With several copies, the nearest count.
Chain A
Amino acid sequence: MSDDPFVIAGVEFPSRLILGTGGAPSMRVVDEVIAASGTAMCTVAMRRISPGTSGSLIDVLERRGVRILPNTAGCRTAQEAVRTAELAREALSTDWVKLEVVADERTLLPDAVELLDAAETLVAQGFTVLPYTNDDPVLARRLQQAGCVAVMPLGSPIGSGLGILNPHNIELIVAEARVPVILDAGIGTASDAALAMELGCAAVLLASSVTRAQHPAAMATAVAAAVTAGRLARLAGRIPKRHHAQASSPTEGMAVL
């Protein structure tokens, strides 16, 4: 139990919680939730620079010593995503990318075809690709075959807080995965994060559940503890589910009273 390293593409991370910085009302809250969560990697989005844009986000992330994982959020096509990844690499000096290619703004669900296309292109260009995908075990398999270093299936739509709608699919993905499976999107609260780990995920990536909670720092602490709890429970070997009861007190030695 003591030795349970979490490694992506040869890099070991001290925390199995990856934090999205989106949705936080202020940079101070970003700073607080990073500290409270103990995360070692945070996602950022790439957007047009505006006069107002201070570089403070990067400052905060660097001061906290967390790895920066740029995403391609908002991209609808493989080309947009690839170019956004190239710009992120240039701006942030990292070839790691959380690849997102969504089909529309209402569901923000991944577009399987464009996603796979972008993944293949980016891997060919030497990127270290962590794709945000749906919970289809077959697409997860293809993304691994394309050379992605992790697969990040959703539990439910981004920001919905609906938790893990189809645990069976997550189990199927985990069962055959040769890279870390990271539950990405849909987490609403601590028990969802614990369940993700119990299903065999190597880590959890979440943003809204923490940044939009009434008390972000407290929720950051909560989900961090839940990820630890779920991982330990997975390794500890839970009791089987039984249709009937099983006494936890001795059935013999009862007094006659």
Chain B
Amino acid sequence: MKLTVNGAPRELDDATTLARLLDDQPARGVAAAVDGEVVPRAEWAGFRLAEGQAVEVLTAVQGG
């Protein structure tokens, strides 16, 4: 299925979970939203992504 991750198109196996998509992310300092809604880390494992969704994965960077 096709999704958008941080603005870039991504091709993923159907029913990939958010945990799977983000398993290479650091254990902390990261948060994700799907179609604008925050998905708590605890729910990543059970959160199945669907065709056309937009995933945003953010972390803290230097800022004023």
Contacts and interface: CB of A to CB of B under 8 A. Distances in A.
By secondary structure, the B interface counts as strand
Interface string A61-75: 000000010110100
Interface stretch (A2-10, A47-55, A235-243): A47-55
Contacts of A48: 6-7, 56-58
Contacts of A87: 31-33, 38, 56, 58
Contact of A91 (B6, B54, B58): B58
A89 B6 CA distance: 19
A255 B58 contact: yes
B59 A47 contact: yes
Interface residues of B, number: 24
Given A20-B63, A46-B61, A55 B33 contact: no
Contacts of A22: 62-64
Contact of B61 (A158, A185, A253, A256): A253
Contacts of B36: 83, 257
Interface of B: 6-7, 25-26, 28-33, 36, 38, 40-41, 54, 56-64
Given A58-B60, A88-B31, A249-B64, 15 more contacts: A22-B63, A23-B62, A50-B6, A53-B61, A57-B61, A71-B64, A73-B64, A83-B38, A88-B60, A91-B59, A92-B29, A248-B63, A249-B61, A250-B61, A256-B56
